[in-house]
Amino acid sequence: MADVDPVTVSVVQHRLHAIVEEMGEAMLRTSYSQILNSSRDFSTAICDLGGRLIAQAEHVPIHVGALPWAAKSVAEFFGDDIHPGDVFLLNDPYHGGNHLPDLTAFVPIFRDAKPMFWAINRAHQSDIGGSTHGAYNAGATEIWQEGIRVTPLRLYDRGVVRRDVLEMLVTNVRHPHDFRGDLAAMIGSAHAGQRRMLALAGEFGWDTTLAAIEAVLDGAERQARAVIAAWKDGVYHGEAFLDDDGHRYNDIYIRATVTKRGSDLTIDLSDSHEQVVGFVNSSYPNMRSAVVVALAYLIDPHTPKNDGAFRPVEVIAKPGTVVWANEGAPVTLCTNHCSQEILEAIIKALAPACPDRAMAGWGRRFRIAIQGRDPRTQKPFIWHMFQARPGGGASPVGDGWPGGGEWQAAGGIKFGSLEVTEVRFPLFFREHEFRPGSGGDGQYRGGPGCVLEMVAEIDEPARANTAGDGVKYGACGILGGKDGLPHRYVLHSEGRQQRVLKTKEVGIEVRPATGRWDDFASFMVPRQPGGRGCVCIAYRNSSLDMPGRIAHMRALCQSAPGPGVLAYVDGGVAGWCSVAPKATYRALVNSRTIPHVQDEAAWSVACFVVRPAFRRRGLMHQLLDGAVEHAQAMGAAALEGYPVDPGSERIDQTSGYVGTVQLFEAHRFRRVCQTAGRRGGKPRWLVRRELS
């Protein structure tokens, strides 16, 4: 092994980190699914063929900690049958994967004719087959019900794709187009890592590069051991609980006994709960990943998280327990739960030994996946909820991150853009905000979670499933801090009483028109949605006199729920309608319910006040569109329409319409106006965009 100076070691260390980060940027910009290009549920790394983790990007920690077992599994399976241009895949949790949705691509990096390293991309797929959409099957009692199992598999042979293998994979998922695009992005990302590693070796020479890598690993070990050695020796115990497995087990415990001597740690999980029926079991690689993630959270943040940093840890576990299930058990939820509980038990145990480093628990996962048909395109969709992220745990030096996410990801998975989600999926987010006071109290408080109200804008029933935990056990306090509040999700569905959703359900019917969730996500307490929306039609220079206008408004109504109030019901849209003289109009302007317009004296106003249950972008514009059509049919010379929310200030001045929409980004408003008035492919009305 060549001698290498410290400056070169430092340069190589930072180049390795830059390589895996660039791999991640390539993935972010080329993947198809929102779960990847917005929420970033993927990870990139470099491993050697012996399974040692050389470098990882700061993506999803629970992914990367299991990669050494995957890298070793592929190398052992193919042995000497690895060639330049090959690409390999794997997802099976009993062959080095975390869980089936995390498909992993491997591109070998050669020194002459000898493979030396793997450039790796592990990415969560929107669907991986199985008996329910979205890759999480809460009803599964065996792994074969969770999706297609990919043991070490060659997809490209010396640069040529094996079309039969690719078609077999694509045929087994529900969204083949997105799957193909995401897979291509994964492979491209890994190829970027391959090119950069070859450039690094070309710049420094292979001997110097390999020597520097060994020095980086050894340096990380020294740094980790120096931190551990400062902790008090002893035997420590920690315990964490899952709510249930969705079948017959409740209060599932994870127990960690941690022995600390000198700079060594022995973590014993063998006293954990027996293997359960549902999908909260963990595979061995996933359990080992949770262990090293716990250590990574306790050592210095600038220490490279590689094989060297994790050498001080010895792990003891027992097959047939929830942390190391026997092959064949369902494990899809394990990357969240029981991974998070393994983390919690270990950090709880070590907190007395290193109180200046232990952080409190982060919020638990509770996701929803909806499968349906988008009425705008008539195409099927699968949407995963990455909004309403739970709060991060407090540390010894500060409050937790608001909406930081779950512990095993530590902010690596982002909440998806609301605007992008509404463009891609038939969903409307009425509310998405932090929930004050939801984090656990203490010297430093836990980060607040979120409250979300979401409407599914569909024309036919959709199906949803849930996967998560934490409606009984919230995020844990540490060293006397209080626990955070648990989840509470409520489904409101047309024609049915509202109900609280369980964390592990399949086959949930989401009805059109009024189906919605009030998502009181982690640390959340229920709160009622509020606010009203208005749609106002104003007649200008119309041939209709006031009695004619009133007759027009009555023509839109099918019932009168009260004196002076007219109801408008059309195609599932419901609201109240009242006709007002100019004095009432001025009062509405002054109260900022509707905006002021020029030439006030020429106006009279009819307001539709849309009930909260129907207050959504599409329905408001449908209501406006229908009213405009009726008014034109009755001879109105010119109209101005207002899709309005209270407090609106932005106005789109056009030749025929004035529009204001509260909290709508410009591109959202333009899309709404262009699509809401289209029927049969022909625009009923268009709005020119002149928003400041």
Tell me, yes or no, whether 60 and 202 share the same domain: yes
**For residue 205, pLDDT beyond 60:** yes
**For residue 569, pLDDT beyond 50:** no
The region that residue 374 occupies, defined by phi over 0 for left and psi between -120 and 50 for alpha, beta otherwise, is beta
**Does residue 306 belong to any structural domain of this protein?**
no
| Overall residue count recorded for the chain in this entry | 692
Q: Which DSSP category does 355 fall into?
A: T
Burial 252-262 (b: 16+ CB within 10 A, else e): bebbbbbbbee
Tell me, yes or no, whether 487 and 557 share the same domain: no
**Does residue 167 belong to any structural domain of this protein?**
yes
Tell me, yes or no, whether 519 and 550 share the same domain: no
Domain boundary among 497, 513, 528: 528
| 422-447 average pLDDT score | 85
The DSSP H or E segment spanning 383 is: strand 379-384
| 669-686 average pLDDT score | 29
Please tell me the distance from the alpha carbon of residue 526 to that of residue 269, in angstroms, as a whole number: 36
**Does residue 338 belong to any structural domain of this protein?**
no
Q: What are the pLDDT digits (tens) for 319-360?
A: 999 999 999 999 999 999 999 999 999 999 999 999 999 999
Domain boundary among 191, 207, 222: 222
Q: Which of 106-120, 243-257, 262-276, 570-584 has the lowest mean pLDDT?
A: 570-584
Q: What integer pLDDT is reported at residue 430 of this predicted model?
A: 78
CA distances in angstroms from 62 to 245, 321, 562, listed in the order given: 20, 19, 59
Report how many helices (DSSP H) and strands (DSSP E) the chain contains, helices first: 14, 30
Domain boundary among 222, 245, 267: 222
Tell me, yes or no, whether 79 and 92 share the same domain: yes
pLDDT band at 1 (very low <50, low <70, confident <90, very high): low
pLDDT band at 675 (very low <50, low <70, confident <90, very high): very low
Tell me, yes or no, whether 520 and 558 share the same domain: no
CA distances in angstroms from 663 to 133, 403, 641, 669, listed in the order given: 32, 20, 18, 10
Q: What are the pLDDT digits (tens) for 592-622?
A: 433 343 333 333 333 333 333 333 344 444 4
The DSSP H or E segment spanning 28 is: helix 6-30
Residues 6+ apart with CB under 8 A from 379: 373
Domain containing 552 equals: 533-683
**Does residue 242 belong to any structural domain of this protein?**
no
pLDDT band at 490 (very low <50, low <70, confident <90, very high): confident
Q: What's the chain's average pLDDT? A: 78
Please tell me the distance from the alpha carbon of residue 538 to that of residue 540, in angstroms, as a whole number: 7
Q: What integer pLDDT is reported at residue 630 of this predicted model?
A: 44
* pTM of the model as a whole: 0.76
Tell me, yes or no, whether 524 and 635 share the same domain: no
Neighbour count for residue 21 (Cβ, 10 Å) = 16
Tell me, yes or no, whether 371 and 493 share the same domain: yes
**For residue 212, pLDDT beyond 90:** yes
Would you say 614 and 430 are in contact if contact means Cβ atoms under 8 Å apart? Answer: no
Neighbour count for residue 437 (Cβ, 10 Å) = 11
**Residue in this structure with the two tokens 């007649």, named with its chain if needed:** 539
Count of the separate structural domains present in the chain: 3
Amino acid, single-letter form, for residue 23 = M
Tell me, yes or no, whether 524 and 541 share the same domain: no
Please tell me the distance from the alpha carbon of residue 86 to that of residue 244, in angstroms, as a whole number: 43
CA 325 remoteness from chain centre = 26
CA distances in angstroms from 411 to 59, 62, 433, 447, 583, listed in the order given: 8, 12, 17, 12, 53
**Does residue 345 belong to any structural domain of this protein?**
no
Q: Which of 310-324, 442-456, 616-630 has the lowest mean pLDDT?
A: 616-630
Please tell me the distance from the alpha carbon of residue 386 to that of residue 381, in angstroms, as a whole number: 16
**Does residue 515 belong to any structural domain of this protein?**
yes
The DSSP H or E segment spanning 242 is: strand 234-244
pLDDT band at 389 (very low <50, low <70, confident <90, very high): confident
Tell me, yes or no, whether 424 and 542 share the same domain: no
Tell me, yes or no, whether 523 and 647 share the same domain: no
Would you say 466 and 508 are in contact if contact means Cβ atoms under 8 Å apart? Answer: yes
**Does residue 542 belong to any structural domain of this protein?**
yes
Tell me, yes or no, whether 129 and 154 share the same domain: yes
How close are the terminal C-alpha atoms of the chain, in Å? 64
**Does residue 320 belong to any structural domain of this protein?**
no
Q: What integer pLDDT is reported at residue 676 of this predicted model?
A: 33
Per-residue tokens: 395: 């540390």
Per-residue tokens: 302: 């600038």
**For residue 444, pLDDT beyond 70:** yes
CA 675 remoteness from chain centre = 27
Tell me, yes or no, whether 567 and 446 share the same domain: no
